[in-house]
Amino acid sequence: MPGGHRKRTTPFSGLDTTPSAMTSILEISAGQYSEKGIKESNEDACGIHIPKDSLLTSKGIAIVIADGVSSAEAGREASETCVTGFLSDYFSTSEAWTVKTSGQKVLGALNRWLYGRGQTCYGSGQGMLTTLSAIVIKSATAHLFHVGDTRIYRLREGEFKCLTRDHQTWASSEKAFLSRAMGADHTVEIDYRSVPVEVGDVFILTTDGVHEYVNDQALVELYQANHSNLDRATRNIVTRALENGSHDNVTCQVVRVESLPLQNEEEFYKQLTELPFPPPLETGQILDGYKIMRELHASNRTQVYLALDTQS
């Protein structure tokens, strides 16, 4: 690794890496690493917060990564403000609010602060700009918040997928500009989505200094080769980006879900309503382990069948 680089991460605490199945406790393993690369300073920031008290149930676990825009006057301050601000303020929001409401209100307030400070200190809306990608894992659901071109990936049973969309405008085949960033205007459009979480899910968060120089296959291979030590996995991913010629700051976080509480009523209902309707059923057909014996009732709205459980 080139000399003069410096690890800079926001500390996190409360990790419990004991593997278990579905329990009443949410547990993760995590690692993170950040370096300035060939640049003079590190304008990336990242952090993880795992509360030890009842907030673990009511608010969950928060993971944040941000990349301060180097062309702005105060990119480093912007990224650090967003990471520390989100990790602090999210857990101070009303427990009556949903994760979506809490996250959006906190990010909206942070955006207004960045924009106002940029106007006051630098005389423009370009003074304090940063990307941001955040995950809040609460109960058995991951809530994603995203602005810019940092990324959130998920590895599940061998399938690797990017869960975010880069907010970029291409000026040429080789040059792209951010089309959305924290602090660029007095309001910001935040991409939000929620996805069910399974035990064993792995989330990888990267800044563009990493994912522009380490492809998907290499990210997976580097994680798998170091799955027993996630700090080492993130260091090796960052090192690979630098070896491949990255000329930007390089930051990576890896989070693995070790155990989950049972789904709450809201999550169960949401998952149930998203299930597809089955096709018309016929005698002898097997659906989810049940063999259809005969139709008992049919109307325009409902069908009732007698079925045999073939798995017990």
Residue 297 and residue 214 share a domain: no
Residue 286 and residue 261 share a domain: no
User: What pLDDT digit, counting tens, does each position of 64-105 carry?
Assistant: 999 999 766 689 999 999 999 999 999 999 999 999 999 999
Please report whether residue 12 resides in a domain.
Answer: no
- CA–CA distance, 302 with 297 (Å, rounded to integer): 8
Residue 155 and residue 304 share a domain: no
Residue 239 and residue 300 share a domain: no
Are 60 and 100 in contact by the 8 Å Cβ rule? The answer is no
CA distances from 106 to 89, 94, 120 (A): 6, 11, 21
User: What pLDDT digit, counting tens, does each position of 186-230 carry?
Assistant: 999 999 999 999 999 999 999 999 999 999 999 999 999 999 999
Phi-psi region of 60 (alpha: psi -120 to 50; beta: other; left: phi over 0): left
| 170 vs 159: which has the higher pLDDT | 159
Helix 230-243 to helix 216-225 angle, to the nearest 10 degrees?
140
User: What pLDDT digit, counting tens, does each position of 256-269 carry?
Assistant: 999 999 766 565 55
pLDDT at 48: 98
Total of domains in the chain:
2
Q: Which residue has the tokens 């057909």?
A: 285
Residue 294 and residue 206 share a domain: no
Residue 201 and residue 95 share a domain: yes
Q: Which residue has the tokens 């924009």?
A: 115
User: Residue 20: pLDDT above 90?
Assistant: no
Q: Please give the mean pLDDT across all residues of the chain.
A: 87
CATH of the domain at 196: 3.60.40.10
Residue 200 and residue 159 share a domain: yes
Cα-atom radius of gyration of the chain, to the nearest Å?
22
pTM, 2 dp: 0.79
User: Residue 55: pLDDT above 90?
Assistant: yes
Please report whether residue 301 resides in a domain.
Answer: yes
| CA neighbor of 119 nearest in space, from 110, 128, 132, 108 | 128
Domain membership of residue 90 as a residue range: 27-267
Please report whether residue 19 resides in a domain.
Answer: no
Residue 240 and residue 158 share a domain: yes
- CA–CA distance, 165 with 143 (Å, rounded to integer): 15
